[in-house]
Amino acid sequence: MSKFSIAILLAATVLLSCKKEPNSTENETTFNTIDKTTLSIDGWEISKSIYDFSINSRDVYFINPDIGFVVGYNGDIYKTTDSGITWTKQNSGTTLHLHSVFFLNENVGFVSSQTMNCLDADCNKGSVLLKTTNGGETWTKNFFPDYTRILSLNFFDDLKGIALIQTTDLLNSGDKKIALTSDGGINWNLIELAIKPTYDRLFFTDNIVFVAGENQKIFKSSDLGYTWETINTPVAANYSIRNLYFLNENEGIIDGVTNVYKTTDGGSNWTKTNYPFTNFGTLHFFNENEGFNIESVWAYEGGDFPVFKGSICYETKDGGESWSKSDLITSINLGLTFFPRSDMGFGFTGSKFYSIKKKD
């Protein structure tokens, strides 16, 4: 064989070895359940599935009982279309840590992030808002250099939306601003409202928005965030509203650290409850009478951080007048939860997914 022929053969071999096989896209990778257990409590059934993937989850959202999304660190977005039996990894197009997800319908959805000082392509550009119009198959990006985090997304239609936003001038504090958009998230208008949320969530019931404020007050909006009503609470002056839950516009519960208070008239009047818990875990009411709170139990055992010991479930059938209390359930740690219907919810933490269903 001539030197020329050998050279041709070697070149062809090199080219073939360098030729990349078509990569399967991330959204073709499906993950399945590797273990599943079911636990019954008095009025509800909880199924726990363990998957062959794990996500540092930061938000979960279900469009309906079948289709849901979970988002987390490193740009991770996973989607299910079968109530969590299987999950498919979506190609988010970013490695930024994702913090909030909201879908208007099966096609149109939004995901937001925090800013990061790192070396990847999207780093040091501020927070990003991702948008999809095809159910997560593809995502477009819109960067906000002055925002460090975009949290608690909610859209009322294709254009009007609301969020909690932390800006660069609030970088070293826990303060956040309520922000509105009227162009689908392209631009945001920050509202000067005296909020001091101790957690990163707005609370929604239908299109009514609630948020904890300074000086033990609650702010409420019934017009998509454009105007706000101030609601006074009996929380002690040296404490803040640690959490809140509204079943509807009138029925609400607040966690005032030392006491839990309830209103049945939209906050005009509050009564101190005899609830056996002072911390909201997963608090959910099926109707005005039937509800539960699943509270995580943590304990220090000599290390720097507390150790998860399990959960205790409290259930009521009379609107909170009396509660039953379970023993410590070591197998349940619901993590992030979302209820697309009052009789069905889901929880996600790490590689564990929980399905919560009301018994007939």
The enclosing domain of 292 has a CATH number of 2.130.10.10
Positions in the chain whose pLDDT score sits under 50: 1-27
CB 224 within 8 A of CB 208: no
Token representation of residue 96: 């930024």
Tell me which residue has tokens 């928005």.
Answer: 209
d(CA 73, CA 114): 10
How many angstroms from the chain centroid is the CA of residue 96? 16
Question: What pLDDT score does 8 carry?
Answer: 38
User: Does 25 map to a domain?
Assistant: no
Q: Which domain holds residue 202?
A: 31-358
d(CA 314, CA 44): 11
Burial class (CB within 10 angstroms; exposed 0-12, middle 13-18, buried 19+) of 185 = buried
Which of 130, 181, 193, 189 is closest to 154 using CA atoms?
181
User: Does 119 map to a domain?
Assistant: yes
Helix (H/G/I), strand (E/B), else coil: 237: coil
User: Does 172 map to a domain?
Assistant: yes
User: Does 19 map to a domain?
Assistant: no
H helix intervals, the chain: 3-18
d(CA 77, CA 221): 31
CB 295 within 8 A of CB 281: yes
For 153-207, what is each residue's pLDDT tens digit?
A: 999 999 999 999 988 776 555 678 899 999 999 999 999 888 875 667 899 998 8
Question: What pLDDT score does 197 carry?
Answer: 58
Question: What pLDDT score does 50 carry?
Answer: 93
User: Does 198 map to a domain?
Assistant: yes
CB 227 within 8 A of CB 193: no
CB 113 within 8 A of CB 89: no
User: Does 8 map to a domain?
Assistant: no
User: Quick check: pTM over 0.85?
Assistant: yes
User: Does 326 map to a domain?
Assistant: yes
Q: How many folded domains does the chain comprise?
A: 1
User: Does 148 map to a domain?
Assistant: yes
CB 350 within 8 A of CB 333: no
Tally of CB atoms within 10 A around 300 = 9
The residues pairing with 316 across neighbouring beta strands, listed in sequence order, are 291
